[in-house]
Structure 1
Amino acid sequence: MLRDAEKTIGNLIDKQRAAFISSVDEDGFPNTRAMLPPRKRVGIKTLYFSTSTSSAKVGQYRDSPKTCVYFCGRRFFRGVMLRGTVEVPEDPDAKRMIWRVGDRQYYSRGVTDPDFCVLKFTATQGGYYASYKSESFPISDPAV
Protein backbone atom coordinates (compact mmCIF):
# COMPACT_ATOMS: atom_id res chain seq x y z
CA MET A 1 0.00 0.00 0.00
CA LEU A 2 1.27 3.46 -0.90
CA ARG A 3 1.76 5.50 2.26
CA ASP A 4 2.43 8.79 0.50
CA ALA A 5 1.41 8.52 -3.16
CA GLU A 6 2.28 12.14 -3.88
CA LYS A 7 5.87 11.73 -2.66
CA THR A 8 6.53 8.20 -3.98
CA ILE A 9 5.09 8.82 -7.42
CA GLY A 10 6.46 12.35 -7.66
CA ASN A 11 9.97 11.00 -7.01
CA LEU A 12 9.48 8.27 -9.61
CA ILE A 13 8.34 10.82 -12.23
CA ASP A 14 11.21 13.20 -11.47
CA LYS A 15 13.87 10.50 -11.98
CA GLN A 16 12.71 9.34 -15.42
CA ARG A 17 14.23 10.42 -18.72
CA ALA A 18 11.11 9.54 -20.70
CA ALA A 19 7.36 9.51 -20.34
CA PHE A 20 5.06 7.31 -22.41
CA ILE A 21 1.90 9.14 -23.40
CA SER A 22 -1.07 7.88 -25.37
CA SER A 23 -3.67 9.51 -27.58
CA VAL A 24 -6.61 8.12 -29.51
CA ASP A 25 -6.51 8.28 -33.31
CA GLU A 26 -9.38 8.92 -35.72
CA ASP A 27 -10.14 5.18 -35.87
CA GLY A 28 -10.41 4.92 -32.07
CA PHE A 29 -7.09 3.13 -31.57
CA PRO A 30 -4.51 4.13 -28.95
CA ASN A 31 -1.24 5.65 -30.12
CA THR A 32 1.57 5.57 -27.55
CA ARG A 33 4.84 7.39 -27.91
CA ALA A 34 7.85 8.22 -25.77
CA MET A 35 8.30 11.87 -24.88
CA LEU A 36 10.73 13.86 -22.83
CA PRO A 37 9.66 14.05 -19.17
CA PRO A 38 7.31 16.82 -18.07
CA ARG A 39 8.72 20.34 -18.05
CA LYS A 40 6.67 21.19 -14.99
CA ARG A 41 4.84 19.12 -12.43
CA VAL A 42 2.20 20.30 -9.94
CA GLY A 43 1.96 17.42 -7.52
CA ILE A 44 1.02 14.33 -9.49
CA LYS A 45 -2.22 15.85 -10.76
CA THR A 46 -0.93 18.29 -13.40
CA LEU A 47 1.98 17.74 -15.78
CA TYR A 48 3.15 20.08 -18.54
CA PHE A 49 4.93 18.72 -21.61
CA SER A 50 6.42 20.43 -24.65
CA THR A 51 5.90 19.19 -28.18
CA SER A 52 5.41 20.39 -31.74
CA THR A 53 2.03 21.74 -32.78
CA SER A 54 2.47 19.94 -36.11
CA SER A 55 2.68 16.50 -34.45
CA ALA A 56 -0.22 14.11 -35.00
CA LYS A 57 -0.84 13.77 -31.27
CA VAL A 58 -1.82 17.44 -30.89
CA GLY A 59 -4.67 17.03 -33.36
CA GLN A 60 -5.66 13.76 -31.68
CA TYR A 61 -5.81 15.48 -28.26
CA ARG A 62 -7.93 18.26 -29.67
CA ASP A 63 -10.36 15.64 -31.01
CA SER A 64 -10.27 13.37 -27.95
CA PRO A 65 -8.54 14.64 -24.80
CA LYS A 66 -8.64 11.31 -22.92
CA THR A 67 -5.18 9.92 -22.32
CA CYS A 68 -2.80 8.22 -19.96
CA VAL A 69 0.84 8.81 -19.14
CA TYR A 70 3.16 6.03 -17.97
CA PHE A 71 6.49 6.30 -16.17
CA CYS A 72 8.67 3.25 -15.62
CA GLY A 73 11.50 3.07 -13.11
CA ARG A 74 13.73 0.41 -14.65
CA ARG A 75 16.09 -0.05 -11.71
CA PHE A 76 13.49 -1.58 -9.38
CA PHE A 77 10.87 -2.31 -12.07
CA ARG A 78 8.29 0.10 -10.69
CA GLY A 79 5.78 2.01 -12.72
CA VAL A 80 2.96 4.50 -12.51
CA MET A 81 0.12 5.06 -14.93
CA LEU A 82 -1.79 8.32 -14.65
CA ARG A 83 -5.13 8.53 -16.44
CA GLY A 84 -6.81 11.83 -17.31
CA THR A 85 -7.15 14.44 -20.02
CA VAL A 86 -4.91 16.70 -22.08
CA GLU A 87 -5.49 20.32 -22.98
CA VAL A 88 -3.50 22.25 -25.58
CA PRO A 89 -3.24 25.75 -24.07
CA GLU A 90 -2.52 28.42 -26.65
CA ASP A 91 -1.82 31.32 -24.29
CA PRO A 92 1.68 32.86 -24.26
CA ASP A 93 1.98 32.50 -20.46
CA ALA A 94 1.73 28.70 -20.69
CA LYS A 95 4.42 28.66 -23.37
CA ARG A 96 6.74 30.97 -21.41
CA MET A 97 6.25 28.84 -18.29
CA ILE A 98 7.86 25.76 -19.86
CA TRP A 99 10.20 27.37 -22.43
CA ARG A 100 13.91 26.56 -22.10
CA VAL A 101 16.79 28.34 -23.80
CA GLY A 102 17.84 25.16 -25.67
CA ASP A 103 14.40 24.96 -27.29
CA ARG A 104 15.48 27.55 -29.85
CA GLN A 105 17.38 24.86 -31.78
CA TYR A 106 13.99 23.26 -32.56
CA TYR A 107 11.83 26.38 -32.60
CA SER A 108 13.86 29.10 -34.36
CA ARG A 109 11.26 31.81 -33.69
CA GLY A 110 11.57 31.29 -29.96
CA VAL A 111 8.74 30.97 -27.48
CA THR A 112 6.33 32.53 -29.99
CA ASP A 113 7.14 29.95 -32.69
CA PRO A 114 3.76 28.60 -33.89
CA ASP A 115 5.15 25.04 -33.82
CA PHE A 116 6.07 25.26 -30.10
CA CYS A 117 3.24 23.68 -28.16
CA VAL A 118 2.28 22.98 -24.56
CA LEU A 119 0.37 19.89 -23.45
CA LYS A 120 -1.29 20.23 -20.06
CA PHE A 121 -2.15 16.83 -18.62
CA THR A 122 -4.57 16.61 -15.70
CA ALA A 123 -4.74 13.26 -13.90
CA THR A 124 -7.93 11.87 -12.35
CA GLN A 125 -6.87 8.30 -11.51
CA GLY A 126 -3.61 6.45 -11.05
CA GLY A 127 -2.16 2.99 -10.88
CA TYR A 128 1.13 2.04 -9.24
CA TYR A 129 3.10 -1.16 -9.78
CA ALA A 130 5.90 -2.33 -7.48
CA SER A 131 7.05 -5.57 -5.86
CA TYR A 132 4.83 -7.65 -8.18
CA LYS A 133 1.68 -5.87 -6.98
CA SER A 134 -0.61 -3.29 -8.56
CA GLU A 135 -2.61 -0.65 -6.74
CA SER A 136 -5.12 1.91 -8.04
CA PHE A 137 -5.59 5.27 -6.37
CA PRO A 138 -7.55 8.50 -6.92
CA ILE A 139 -5.72 11.72 -7.69
CA SER A 140 -6.46 14.62 -5.37
CA ASP A 141 -5.61 18.27 -5.75
CA PRO A 142 -2.13 19.13 -4.48
CA ALA A 143 -1.86 20.82 -1.12
CA VAL A 144 -1.78 24.58 -1.46
Structure 2
Amino acid sequence: MEIKNYDELVNLVERSKNVVVCSVDQDGFPNAKAMFNRKSDKLNTFYFSTNVSAKRTTQFSKNANASIYFFDQETFQGLMLVGKMTVCTDRKTKAVLWQEGDEVYYPAGIDDEDYCVLKFEAKKGNYYHGLENFNFEI
Protein backbone atom coordinates (compact mmCIF):
# COMPACT_ATOMS: atom_id res chain seq x y z
CA MET A 1 0.00 0.00 0.00
CA GLU A 2 1.30 3.43 -0.92
CA ILE A 3 1.48 5.94 1.92
CA LYS A 4 0.65 9.56 1.11
CA ASN A 5 3.58 11.97 1.73
CA TYR A 6 5.84 8.99 2.54
CA ASP A 7 9.13 10.89 2.17
CA GLU A 8 7.84 13.71 4.40
CA LEU A 9 6.96 11.20 7.13
CA VAL A 10 10.33 9.45 6.91
CA ASN A 11 12.08 12.83 7.04
CA LEU A 12 10.26 13.69 10.28
CA VAL A 13 11.35 10.37 11.81
CA GLU A 14 14.97 10.80 10.69
CA ARG A 15 15.36 14.32 12.06
CA SER A 16 13.68 13.56 15.40
CA LYS A 17 16.20 13.06 18.20
CA ASN A 18 13.52 11.96 20.64
CA VAL A 19 10.30 10.01 20.36
CA VAL A 20 7.43 9.58 22.79
CA VAL A 21 6.95 5.86 23.48
CA CYS A 22 3.60 4.75 24.91
CA SER A 23 2.84 1.53 26.76
CA VAL A 24 -0.27 0.24 28.51
CA ASP A 25 -0.21 -0.24 32.29
CA GLN A 26 -1.84 -3.00 34.36
CA ASP A 27 -5.06 -0.96 34.64
CA GLY A 28 -5.32 -0.43 30.87
CA PHE A 29 -4.19 3.20 30.90
CA PRO A 30 -1.60 4.64 28.48
CA ASN A 31 1.83 5.56 29.87
CA ALA A 32 4.13 7.85 27.86
CA LYS A 33 7.89 8.30 28.07
CA ALA A 34 10.38 10.23 25.93
CA MET A 35 13.18 8.05 24.56
CA PHE A 36 16.13 8.57 22.23
CA ASN A 37 15.41 7.83 18.57
CA ARG A 38 18.30 5.38 18.16
CA LYS A 39 17.55 3.36 15.02
CA SER A 40 14.72 2.77 12.57
CA ASP A 41 13.89 1.16 9.26
CA LYS A 42 11.89 3.93 7.58
CA LEU A 43 8.34 3.63 9.01
CA ASN A 44 8.40 -0.09 9.76
CA THR A 45 10.68 -1.03 12.65
CA PHE A 46 12.13 1.09 15.45
CA TYR A 47 14.66 0.22 18.17
CA PHE A 48 15.13 1.74 21.63
CA SER A 49 17.66 0.85 24.31
CA THR A 50 16.54 0.61 27.92
CA ASN A 51 16.83 -1.30 31.17
CA VAL A 52 15.35 -4.76 31.70
CA SER A 53 14.28 -3.44 35.12
CA ALA A 54 12.46 -0.41 33.64
CA LYS A 55 8.73 0.06 34.19
CA ARG A 56 8.04 0.20 30.42
CA THR A 57 9.93 -3.05 29.83
CA THR A 58 7.71 -4.81 32.35
CA GLN A 59 4.59 -3.27 30.77
CA PHE A 60 5.61 -4.32 27.24
CA SER A 61 6.39 -7.85 28.47
CA LYS A 62 2.79 -8.11 29.69
CA ASN A 63 1.08 -6.16 26.88
CA ALA A 64 2.86 -5.61 23.55
CA ASN A 65 0.37 -2.96 22.34
CA ALA A 66 2.27 0.28 21.84
CA SER A 67 2.39 3.58 20.03
CA ILE A 68 5.23 5.95 19.25
CA TYR A 69 4.93 9.63 18.46
CA PHE A 70 7.26 11.94 16.55
CA PHE A 71 6.70 15.69 16.37
CA ASP A 72 8.28 18.92 15.21
CA GLN A 73 6.92 21.91 17.09
CA GLU A 74 8.51 24.36 14.63
CA THR A 75 6.72 22.95 11.57
CA PHE A 76 3.64 21.70 13.42
CA GLN A 77 4.07 18.12 12.24
CA GLY A 78 3.08 15.01 14.17
CA LEU A 79 3.31 11.32 13.38
CA MET A 80 1.79 8.61 15.55
CA LEU A 81 2.52 4.97 14.77
CA VAL A 82 0.62 2.10 16.40
CA GLY A 83 1.92 -1.44 16.63
CA LYS A 84 3.58 -4.07 18.80
CA MET A 85 6.66 -3.78 21.03
CA THR A 86 8.96 -6.73 21.67
CA VAL A 87 11.52 -6.86 24.49
CA CYS A 88 14.79 -8.21 23.04
CA THR A 89 17.56 -9.53 25.28
CA ASP A 90 19.58 -11.49 22.71
CA ARG A 91 23.14 -10.31 22.08
CA LYS A 92 22.65 -9.91 18.31
CA THR A 93 19.80 -7.40 18.70
CA LYS A 94 21.53 -5.60 21.57
CA ALA A 95 24.67 -5.23 19.41
CA VAL A 96 22.66 -3.41 16.72
CA LEU A 97 21.99 -0.52 19.12
CA TRP A 98 25.10 -0.56 21.30
CA GLN A 99 27.13 2.67 21.10
CA GLU A 100 30.35 3.81 22.70
CA GLY A 101 29.40 5.52 25.94
CA ASP A 102 26.49 3.20 26.72
CA GLU A 103 28.62 1.62 29.45
CA VAL A 104 27.75 4.66 31.58
CA TYR A 105 24.25 3.18 31.85
CA TYR A 106 25.23 -0.48 31.50
CA PRO A 107 28.60 -0.97 33.29
CA ALA A 108 28.94 -4.62 32.25
CA GLY A 109 28.76 -3.60 28.59
CA ILE A 110 26.64 -5.20 25.93
CA ASP A 111 26.19 -8.30 28.10
CA ASP A 112 24.90 -6.30 31.08
CA GLU A 113 21.93 -8.23 32.49
CA ASP A 114 19.95 -4.98 32.82
CA TYR A 115 20.42 -3.93 29.16
CA CYS A 116 17.76 -4.73 26.58
CA VAL A 117 16.33 -3.40 23.34
CA LEU A 118 12.71 -2.55 22.66
CA LYS A 119 11.76 -3.39 19.07
CA PHE A 120 8.63 -1.66 17.77
CA GLU A 121 6.90 -2.90 14.62
CA ALA A 122 4.39 -0.43 13.19
CA LYS A 123 1.00 -1.56 11.85
CA LYS A 124 -0.72 1.76 11.11
CA GLY A 125 -0.33 5.47 11.67
CA ASN A 126 -1.76 8.96 11.73
CA TYR A 127 0.02 12.03 10.36
CA TYR A 128 -0.79 15.69 10.55
CA HIS A 129 0.91 18.78 9.19
CA GLY A 130 -0.86 22.11 9.35
CA LEU A 131 -4.45 21.44 8.35
CA GLU A 132 -3.73 18.07 6.72
CA ASN A 133 -4.50 14.94 8.75
CA PHE A 134 -4.71 11.35 7.49
CA ASN A 135 -4.56 7.74 8.64
CA PHE A 136 -2.62 5.01 6.85
CA GLU A 137 -1.78 1.30 7.06
CA ILE A 138 1.76 -0.04 6.94
Scaled by the length of structure 2, the TM-score of the pair is 0.94
Compute the displacement of 1:3 (Å).
4.0
Higher strand share: 2
Match of 1:14 in 2: 14
Query: Which segments of 5 or more consecutive residues in structure 1 lack a partner in the other structure?
Result: 140-144
Question: Deviations along 1:87-133, whole A, 9 cap, x unmatched?
Answer: 01121100011100110111110000011110000000011010222
SS across alignment from 1:27: coil
Aligned 1:54-133 pairs, distance under 5 A: 54-133=53-132
State the aligned residue count.
136
C-alpha distance in 1 between matches for 2:4 and 2:16: 21
SS across alignment from 1:101: coil
C-alpha distance in 1 between matches for 2:68 and 2:33: 10
Query: Which segments of 5 or more consecutive residues in structure 2 lack a partner in the other structure?
Result: none
C-alpha distance in 1 between matches for 2:97 and 2:46: 11
Scaled by the length of structure 1, the TM-score of the pair is 0.90
> Which ranges of 4 or more aligned residues in structure 1 deviate by more than 6 Å?
none
Q: Is contact 2:88–2:117 with CA below 8 Å preserved after alignment?
A: yes
Compute the displacement of 1:24 (Å).
0.6
* RMSD over equivalenced CA pairs, Å: 1.1
C-alpha distance in 2 between matches for 1:83 and 1:100: 27
Per mean C-alpha deviation after superposition, the further-off stretch among 11-20 and 63-72 is 11-20
